Amino acid sequence: MKILDANGQPDLRKTARRGRAARRSVVPDIKSPRARKIPAYTLLNENALKAIEDQADWILQNIGVEFCSDKTALDLFAAAGATVVGEKVTFEPGLARQLCATAPAKFELHARDPANTVLLGGDKVVLMPGYGSPFVSDLEKGRRYATLTDFENFVKLSYSTPWLHHSGGTVCEPTDVPVNKRHLDMVLAHLTLSSKPFMGGVTSLERAQDGIDMARLVFGAAFMEDHAVMQGNINVNSPLIFDDTMSGALRVYAAANQCVCVSPSIFAGAMGPLSPAAVAAQTLAEGMVGIALAQLVRPGCPVVFGSFHSTMNLKSGALAFGSPEANLVTMALSQLGRRLGVPVRSGGGQISASNAPDGQAMQDSTGAMWATLLSGAHQVWHAAGWLEGGLVMSYEKFIMDLDHCGAMMTLLQGFETDEEAFGRDAYHETGPGQNFLSTQHTLRHFATANFQPDIPEAGPYETWVENGSHTADQRATARWKRMLDDYKAPPMAEGIYKALTDFVATRKAAMPDAWY
For the segment 294-313, give every residue that binds a copy of itself (CB under 8 A).
311-313
For residues 365 to 384, the per-residue mask of contacts with a copy of itself, x marking binding by CB under 8 A and - elsewhere, is xxx--x---x----------
Binding part of the chain for a copy of itself, among 186-194, 236-244, 341-349, 482-490 by CB under 8 A, reads 236-244
**Of 172, 223, 229, 152, which is closest to residue 196 (Cα–Cα)?**
229
Choose, by CB under 8 A, the member of 1, 21, 437, 510 that binds a copy of itself.
437
Q: Is residue 499 part of the contact set for a copy of itself (CB under 8 A)?
A: no
**For residue 106, how many C-alpha atoms fall within 13 Å in the half-sphere facing its CB?**
20
Q: Is residue 472 part of the contact set for a copy of itself (CB under 8 A)?
A: yes
Per the CB < 8 A criterion, the answer to whether 77 and 66 are in contact is no
Which ranges of 63-147 would DSSP assign to H, the alpha helix?
71-79, 95-99
For residues 385 to 404, the per-residue mask of contacts with a copy of itself, x marking binding by CB under 8 A and - elsewhere, is ---x--x-----x--x--xx
- Among residues 155 and 280, whose Cβ is nearest to a copy of itself? 280
Residue numbers 130-169 binding a copy of itself by CB under 8 A: 143
Taking the complex as a whole, how short is the minimal distance between the CB of residue 375 and a copy of itself, in angstroms? 10
Residue numbers 259-278 binding a copy of itself by CB under 8 A: 268-278
Our CA dihedral for 317, 320, 324, 325, rounded to 10 degrees, sits at 40
Taking the complex as a whole, how short is the minimal distance between the CB of residue 167 and a copy of itself, in angstroms? 24
Q: Is residue 430 part of the contact set for a copy of itself (CB under 8 A)?
A: yes
Choose, by CB under 8 A, the member of 354, 380, 480, 504 that binds a copy of itself.
354
Choose, by CB under 8 A, the member of 3, 16, 35, 48 that binds a copy of itself.
48
Q: Is residue 104 part of the contact set for a copy of itself (CB under 8 A)?
A: no
For residues 56 to 85, the per-residue mask of contacts with a copy of itself, x marking binding by CB under 8 A and - elsewhere, is --xx--xxxxx-------------------
Which ranges of 100-195 would DSSP assign to H, the alpha helix?
148-160, 179-193
Distances in Å between the Cα of 252 and the Cα atoms of 100, 190, 209, 211 are 18, 20, 7, 11
Choose, by CB under 8 A, the member of 88, 298, 339, 481 that binds a copy of itself.
88
Per the CB < 8 A criterion, the answer to whether 61 and 91 are in contact is yes
Taking the complex as a whole, how short is the minimal distance between the CB of residue 86 and a copy of itself, in angstroms? 11
Task: Please state whether the peptide bond connecting residue 239 to the residue before it is cis, i.e. omega within 30 degrees of 0.
Answer: yes
Q: Is residue 316 part of the contact set for a copy of itself (CB under 8 A)?
A: yes
In sequence order, the 6+-apart residues with CB closer than 8 A to the CB of 38 are 411, 412, 413, 414
User: Cα 23 from chain centroid?
Assistant: 19
Residue numbers 171-210 binding a copy of itself by CB under 8 A: none
What single-letter amino acid sits at 79? A
Q: Is residue 351 part of the contact set for a copy of itself (CB under 8 A)?
A: no
Residue numbers 2-41 binding a copy of itself by CB under 8 A: 38-39, 41
- Paired residues of 309 in beta bridges: 266
Edge to edge, the sheet with strand 392-394 lists 142-145, 135-138, 392-394, 386-387
